[in-house]
Structure 1
């Protein structure tokens, strides 16, 4: 969501670069919160996996056009380029929607390891960062289609490519071994919370059954805090009694 929002505000508004970054971060955070909230409350697995699949599809499509295939003359036409790019993006979730666990593991492995590559690019130049940058520049600049984007690999690129491959393979392998024998996806948190609450209500032997409700506990705690700041009231005459 943040990626498309950045492209939208860059092409339609003249605001500064730093402001665009802040707005993009806010938009991406709101989109992530909405997706997590939808999963937490309703457990809409298909929607979540569709977003995950589109992210992986975008990455696969970007890698495809990062190769010499992206320099073919036919792809200098924006219509052909974006239609082909979109078809590859949509194709990935269509293929893997039947095995959503594998889709989630592959996305985490490849996207997570590529994030390390982008972090390395902040300190040491690598042409692998252009996998995402070429698509972004193509979307922002109408003249970028004329550019020759075949970047020669250097020694550090091969080293980072090897690190990227090892991170991706090790991450995918670790997740597959860790999730073996487990259910594909657990019930959504709201369902678990509701089930736990019903269990506490019906089972009087559960120690948590005798815990006061959250509202009463908060009110009692606030009362205790309020008493700490109250002055002690005088108890009446303090002089010794006259006999």
Structure 2
């Protein structure tokens, strides 16, 4: 009886496997009328079971079509696309794949294989082009297929790379001059922290045609590599990338590559899209909320604490950049060493005030930090493709110049500038963890600048940060906190000395020159000069007393 039940179970598993791995065949009509901005002949969804193959044929082909680009788009999971035979050089694997086929003498039959153990929802699209349109990927030298009309994306924690194969103009059958077909890149951001399949498919469909690219796409300028674009990575914010080949012989002739996408992370992996994936980073990020509020509203009132914290932050940034350039450490070790160095730097800066108490120099570090933040904001908002700023010497000279100019403009009004610096820096420190938890991207104002300093070849990266409702909300919160912090501190310190006296001043200068106390009046002619307390030397003390 037990053997009979086991036999039944085995038969059921075999039947289920055969049903799930069945081969399906479909015929797609390609008789749709094409317009200049929309050359899509077919586009629709298809379901493909696990370990199954979908065979796609075509009928009723538009008589004006010379060749087609067949596209397959899957969300997160790879599929295999091949034509006629499954051999090397005739298939491609990925989430956004496509193949070229000439209409004459006979259009190819394509096969889509799902190697995954789950059923997939696919979007199939066919684009038809005229005889004078350039062939995307027709002058391929590196990709697997002889003609590779798709894009390849790769990423790490700092940047995303998008590569395309050169296009071939119909007048250049042997690719003797690839400049006859120019390739332009575009991108469109998906909603932040949205990994939904429907959102992904909507983004892909919006960037498939020239009409959609003109409406939704953002041009990516060339940054040194003709067929590659490097973009700063914003993990968790998806972006759709596409390239367009335009003939220089006939500017009305063009073709669109297969669009692709990247989240700059892997949503399939647990914590794969978390920017801070270790305990120390999360602890430091959360602590910024409380330290930022303290500096924003009480920084100038507790001046010595402000001196230590400003020195600590400066030391952390400097040490982080220095260690990243000289050693290869994991992020927890790198952050730990930077924080320890920052504590030492903060203590040194506090001791400088403790013994010398020069307000102008003490405030200078705060204004330099605001200048650094202002330069980082300018870099964050710069458009890509500025060749002059790709040179590190030019970039850092301009960066430091803006930082010093901002600092010198602020330090001229010492008391007010210190309150202003506390408000701006404290407000940014407050919104930093909120920005992280909300999923917006203003934290990359500082991160992109540090990347420029420590990541090789990041000078070629296009920043082009996304700006959505989350970013607008964080900016409004930043402005509100900085404004309220400045007004609160200015009102709270009204009537007080501008700066507190240092605990141990080794410079015996009159306190009213620095701390706002009332200076004694000069005695009139003939009046008796005030007697100095014993042990205090003044300008009336005899030299040989």
TM over 0.5: yes
Q: Are 2:358 and 1:32 aligned? A: no
Q: Are 2:380 and 1:55 aligned? A: no
Cα offset, 1:96, TM superposition: 2.2
Residue in structure 2 matched with residue 124 of structure 1 by the alignment: 438
Task: Give the alignment of 1:1-243 within 5 angstroms.
Answer: 1-68=315-382, 72-190=386-504
- Number of matched residues? 193
Q: What's the RMSD between the two structures over aligned residues?
A: 1.9
Contact 1:71 1:149 in 2 (8 A): no
The alignment partner of 2:443 has SS state of helix
Distance in 2 (alpha carbons) for counterparts of 1:157 and 1:76: 27
Distance 1:69-1:45 versus aligned 2 partners, 3 A rule: farther
Distance in 2 (alpha carbons) for counterparts of 1:79 and 1:134: 17
Distance in 2 (alpha carbons) for counterparts of 1:34 and 1:70: 40
The alignment partner of 2:463 has SS state of coil
Distance in 1 (alpha carbons) for counterparts of 2:437 and 2:417: 31
Higher strand share goes to which structure?
A: 2
Distance 1:155-1:11 versus aligned 2 partners, 3 A rule: same
Distance in 2 (alpha carbons) for counterparts of 1:103 and 1:71: 35
Cα offset, 1:153, TM superposition: 0.7
Cα offset, 1:167, TM superposition: 0.5
Residue in structure 1 matched with residue 58 of structure 2 by the alignment: none
Normalising by structure 2, what TM-score? Answer: 0.34
Offset from partner CA, 1:72-104 (integer Å, 9 cap, x none): 332222111100000011112212222111221
The alignment partner of 1:14 has SS state of coil
* Stretch moving more, 36-45 or 151-160: 36-45
Distance in 1 (alpha carbons) for counterparts of 2:345 and 2:384: 31
Distance 1:70-1:28 versus aligned 2 partners, 3 A rule: farther
* Stretch moving more, 146-155 or 182-191: 182-191
Distance 1:116-1:179 versus aligned 2 partners, 3 A rule: same
Higher helix share goes to which structure?
A: 1
Cα offset, 1:159, TM superposition: 1.1
| Higher Rg | 2
Cα offset, 1:115, TM superposition: 0.7
Q: Which runs of 5+ in 1 are unaligned?
A: 192-201, 203-243
Residue in structure 2 matched with residue 224 of structure 1 by the alignment: none
Cα offset, 1:15, TM superposition: 2.8
Distance in 2 (alpha carbons) for counterparts of 1:71 and 1:154: 23
Offset from partner CA, 1:21-71 (integer Å, 9 cap, x none): 111000111111111122122213233212111111101111111113576
Distance in 2 (alpha carbons) for counterparts of 1:85 and 1:69: 15
Cα offset, 1:130, TM superposition: 1.0
The alignment partner of 2:442 has SS state of helix
* Stretch moving more, 56-65 or 95-104: 95-104
Contact 2:436 2:443 in 1 (8 A): no
Residue in structure 1 matched with residue 541 of structure 2 by the alignment: none
Normalising by structure 1, what TM-score? Answer: 0.74
Distance 1:57-1:132 versus aligned 2 partners, 3 A rule: same
Bigger RCO of structures 1 and 2 (CA < 8 A, at least 6 apart): 1
